[in-house]
């Protein structure tokens, strides 16, 4: 079993003690969707981390400019700005792959990917 499969199985096991079967079925669908786009999110989170190693204002603005991000950049909340850029890039990547994902699924994938990058993972486990 792949490490990512074990991760999602562990989360699902935790939730199975809390929720009803219909809710679990919906959660399983969401976990499956998140798992499917997580490699893209991890790639994007890694790219952003490398492009903004010090989280300096000029690095964030340069990143936004380089990826043609047209959203608002709030440099007082740098992590939110970087997550917005990540969400933008993930939406673009999924559109290119003809994958439709809800915002909540993309947000979950981004948060997991960001956490993985923060703990120093170099690549997503196979």
**Residue whose tokens read 């608002």:** 72
Would residue 13 count as lying in a domain?
Answer: yes
Asked whether residue 23 carries a pLDDT value surpassing 70, the answer given is: yes
Burial of 112 (0-12, 13-18, 19+ CB in 10 A): buried
Q: In the prediction, which pLDDT does 12 show?
A: 77
Asked whether residue 124 carries a pLDDT value surpassing 60, the answer given is: no
Would residue 8 count as lying in a domain?
Answer: yes
Would residue 100 count as lying in a domain?
Answer: yes
The number of folded domains in the chain is 1
Would residue 124 count as lying in a domain?
Answer: no
Asked whether residue 123 carries a pLDDT value surpassing 60, the answer given is: no
pLDDT tens profile 30-82: 888 888 898 899 999 999 999 998 889 999 999 999 999 988 888 888 888 99
Which domain range does residue 106 map to?
A: 3-118
DSSP 87-102: HHHHHHHHHHTT----
Q: Phi/psi of residue 75, each to 5°?
A: -75, -5
Would residue 123 count as lying in a domain?
Answer: no
Would residue 98 count as lying in a domain?
Answer: yes
pLDDT tens profile 70-117: 888 888 888 889 989 999 999 899 888 878 888 888 888 898 888 888
Q: In the prediction, which pLDDT does 85 show?
A: 92
């Amino acid at each position: 079993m792949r490490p990512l499969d074990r991760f999602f199985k562990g989360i699902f096991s935790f939730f199975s003690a809390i929720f009803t079967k219909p809710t679990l079925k919906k959660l399983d669908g969401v976990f499956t969707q998140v798992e499917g786009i997580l490699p893209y999110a991890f790639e994007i989170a890694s790219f952003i981390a490398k492009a903004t190693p010090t989280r300096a204002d000029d690095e964030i603005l340069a990143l936004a400019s380089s990826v043609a991000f047209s959203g608002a950049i709030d440099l007082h909340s740098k992590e939110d700005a970087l997550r917005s850029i990540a969400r933008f890039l993930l939406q673009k990547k999924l559109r290119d792959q003809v994958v439709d994902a809800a915002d909540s699924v993309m947000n979950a994938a981004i948060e997991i990917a960001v956490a993985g990058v923060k703990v120093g993972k170099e690549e997503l486990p196979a």
